[in-house]
Structure 1
Amino acid sequence: MSTPRPSTTASSAIDLDAYFRRVGHAGPAAPTLSTLQALVAAHTRTIAFETLDPLMGVPVMDLGAAALAEKLITRGRGGYCYEQNGLMRYVLAELGFTVEAYAGRVVWMLPADAATPARTHQVLSVIVPDTGLEYLVDVGFGGQTLSSPIRMVLDEAQQTRHEPYRITRHGDERMLEALVRDVWQPLYVFAPTPAPQIDLEVGSWYVSTHPASGFVVGMTVARVTDDARWNLRGRHLSVHRRDGTSTKTVLKSAGAVVELLERRFGIDLTGIEGLERRISQVLDT
């Protein structure tokens, strides 16, 4: 079987060694399933999901390899789906995987009668060379992000490093679901066709600037460790462990939140002027 060519839209001159150091990956760099699994695990446990730029009034406009690498690798920051999956897309393409970006509509925790949400989520289709097998990769869905790649097949429960997930049919599209407390919960709907880069840029602009965007009016941070999911919304911290137990903590001040961002979520806050003051305005949003 011939090896699929990497997606030309995602090719880049990204510094793979710098990325590997950032996420602590010392394993092989061959475009294999084991490499894909190792990188997804390393990325999610290292680079936090965070929405600090939109919160601080900084639009996320540039989704190019250089901009994403500068922020998430060099500066030690995190990001949201367009940044997280954007960086992963460039890395995997550079390694020799075939990678395409898909656009999705987030339905997680929406009531059944809610209006159809916009396509404001980015996920990845990744084909492993020499096998032709397609995987769904998503390192940017916050506290419920996929902690492992899963096969792009329908109606099959697939175990990740944490809970099981499955992909179901949703009209002409696909829906990702997670088994949360023994109930299959819908996360997002996505069209299994490549999304043009301009659509991704528009989506990122929308969620980082729209006055009603949750990323603009509140702060969301998350990190997936090997044994737990850490979710922070304003001053409210939730920790959901793999053994099924959960704890919730209400932080007393914006200063305590800033300390947690650095200590627990590993975000380098250098150069973010006025962050503590801004966080104090959204502690209970």
Structure 2
Amino acid sequence: MTDLAAYLDRIDYAGPTDATIDTLHALVAAHNSAIPFENLDPLMGIPVVDLSRAALFDKLVQRRRGGYCYEQNGVMGYVLAELGFGVQRLGGRVVWMNHSEELPAQTHEALSVTVPGVQGPWLVDVGFGGQTLSSPIRLEVDAVQPTRHEPYRIREHGDGLLLEAQIRSEWHALYTFTTKPQPQIDREVGSWYVSTYPKSVFVVGLSAALLTDDARWNLRGRNLAIHSAGDTERIRFATAADVLNALTDRFGIDLTDLGDRVDVEARVNAVLDC
């Protein structure tokens, strides 16, 4: 089975694969609901440095793991390019829930995607965790754009752009970015930094997220929030074993290979309330 066929099977997608806007929307939706955002490798002390096609497909597709932005958008970028879309990889600085006045590091990857026969690029981002884009949006400024979930908009910000989401009638800033393509070496440096820096949120706490057609599933430590249709259900797990069960049963993460290398339960237990 080729990488592409294995990926389509991984996201349970059997629809058209021609490079159209409908295909782009369908692939993003299928990816969102099948491959979870998760930071288990950094949490377990395993750096995420190799962003090659082979490494990313092995982890997210063959081993049925999830990943964060460099991995999620890494795989999506390779798939879209193979299907005939134009793909540029962009760098961003996360400002979501960041209350510091200091400039955040450039540690996010998103995609600028062009569709044959369709004017202008689209912003695609399947790797922003709990508030990831659930649909492609046009890469244009000041237009409020619907997605399968909340409205989003892109605004000018300094010498670049700012992505915002409308959550419960209020606009929230997610990340700044530019349309200048980000080279592989910069993405590798960014991924190494967020997966090894002692104060990185990916090193000091557990996060997982999954996006379905009608809900956002967000896990932080022992706390699971399920956001749907203006309502939120909250579940607080008692033990690390309960969290591991949720990662496996609710998020579909195969923990087998991790368990062969580290004591996953012990590490999760240490960050239940982080």
TM-score normalised by L of structure 1: 0.94
Q: Deviations over 1:34-59 (max 9, x none)?
A: 00000000000000000000000000
Deviation beyond 6 Å, 4+ runs, structure 1: none
- Asked whether 1:143 is paired with 2:130, we answer yes
Matches within 5 A, 1:47-86: 47-86=35-74
Measured in 2, the distance between the counterparts of 1:116 and 1:247 equals: 34
Shift of 1:110: 1.8
Deviations 1:58-95, CA, capped at 9 Å, x for gaps = 00010000000000000000000000000000000000
**SS of equivalent residue, structure 1 residue 140:** coil
Partner of residue 36, structure 1:
24
Unmatched runs of 5 consecutive residues or more in structure 2:
none
Distance in 2, Cα, partners of 1:198 & 1:189: 20
Partner SS state of residue 231, structure 1: strand
Q: Does 1:91 align with 2:79?
A: yes
Aligned-residue offset at 1:191 = 1.2
Q: Are 2:238 and 1:249 aligned?
A: no
Partner of 2:98: 110
Quick one: which amino acid aligns to residue 251 of structure 1?
A: F
Q: 1:175 aligns with which of 162, 177, 181?
A: 162
Question: For 1:196, which of 183, 192, 204 is the aligned residue?
Answer: 183
Q: CA RMSD in A?
A: 1.1
| Identical-pair percentage | 59
Matched residue SS, 1:104: strand
One-letter identity of the residue aligned with 2:74: G
Rounded to whole Å, the distance in 1 between the matches of 2:43 and 2:7 is: 26
- Provide the residue aligned with 1:279 in structure 2: 268
Gaps of 5+ in 1: 1-13
- Opposite residue 30 of structure 1, the aligned amino acid is D
In structure 2, the residue matched to 1:161 is: 148
Query: Secondary structure of 1:54's partner?
Result: helix
Offset of residue 116 of structure 1: 0.8
What's the counterpart of residue 11 of structure 1? none
Give the letter for the 1:127 counterpart: T
For 1:253-272, list aligned pairs within 5 A. 253-272=239-258
1:1-29, CA deviations, whole angstroms, 9 ceiling, x for partnerless residues? xxxxxxxxxxxxx7211110000110011
What is the number of residues matched between the two proteins?
271
Letter in 1 for 2:232: S
Stretch moving more, 165-174 or 125-134: 125-134
